[in-house]
Structure 1
Amino acid sequence: MNDKLILVVDDSPTDRQIAVAACTSKGYRVESAAEGEEAMRKAVELKPDLILLDVILPQKNGFQVCRQLKSNPDTEAIKIIMVTSKSQDSDRFWGIKQGADGYLTKPFSEDELLDVINKNI
């Protein structure tokens, strides 16, 4: 069993389940969150190795979550991959500017997701 913990953050139950299933199939431990505030709490509490973070979330969007986690000394080292349907170059630029370590657009294949995870964990 892999000891790496991934936090999957997505407000879509379907997208969240797809990512969770892909991660667990490779032996990663997985936690999930459905909105920004919950993601912040779990990131601080659990200190995951990687966060797969949607941009469009209730309460606090993924850009805000990423910026706050990367500016906090307790969570700044956590790798964050933005996983979103926002596919414009400006969205990708903004995500990286907020501190994201990678950017994956939806829809994605399981292989694409696992590739970005393997490169960042």
Structure 2
Amino acid sequence: MSEKLILVVDDSPTDRQIAVSACQAKGYRVESAAEGEEALRKALDLKPDLILLDVILPQKNGFQVCRQLKSSPETQAIKIIMVTSKSQDSDRFWGIKQGADGYLTKPFSESELHELIAQTI
């Protein structure tokens, strides 16, 4: 069993649960958040190894959350994979530009998610 902690951030309860279950199936410890401000608080408190971060979120969007986490010395080492329905090349470019370590578009297969997590942490 892995001791790695993953924070899943998605405002959709269904999408959040899919990602949580997929991570737990691989033995990761998992916490979750439903919006941007909560994600920032939990990232600071928990210092997860990885954040799976949706782009379209209430309060602060995923791009803003990613940029804020990567610009803070306390959280800049946390790996971030954007997990979103925003599938345009410009969205992917912008996510990476904000500091994301990976980008996965919805819908995704569990094996795609597992592979990207393994490559990232």
Normalised to the residue count of structure 1, the TM-score between the two structures is 0.99
The answer to whether residue 105 in structure 2 is matched with residue 101 in structure 1 is no
CA deviation profile, 1:13-57 (whole Å, cap 9, x unmatched): 000000000000110000000000000000000000000000000
SS of the residue 2:52 aligns to: strand
Is 1:116 equivalent to 2:116 in the alignment?
A: yes
Amino acid at match of 2:21: A
Residue of structure 2 in register with 1:75 after alignment: 75
Q: Secondary structure at the match of 1:113?
A: helix
Paired positions, count: 121
Which position in structure 2 is the counterpart of 1:62? 62
Q: Post-superposition shift, 1:110? A: 0.3
Match for 2:25: what amino acid?
A: S
Identical columns (%): 85
Deviation, 1:66, is 0.1
Name the residue aligned to 1:31: 31
1:2 positional shift:
1.2
1:46-82 Cα shifts (integer Å, max 9, x gaps): 0000000000000000000000000000000000000
Q: Distance in 2 between matches of 1:11 and 1:5?
A: 19
Q: Which runs of 5+ in 2 are unaligned?
A: none
- Distance between the aligned counterparts of 1:2 and 1:84, measured in 2? 25
- Let me know the Cα RMSD of the aligned residues: 0.4
TM-score (norm 2): 0.99
SS in structure 1 of the partner of residue 111 of structure 2: helix
Alpha-carbon distance in 2 for matches of 1:55, 1:97: 14
CA distance in 2, matches of 1:69, 1:98: 10
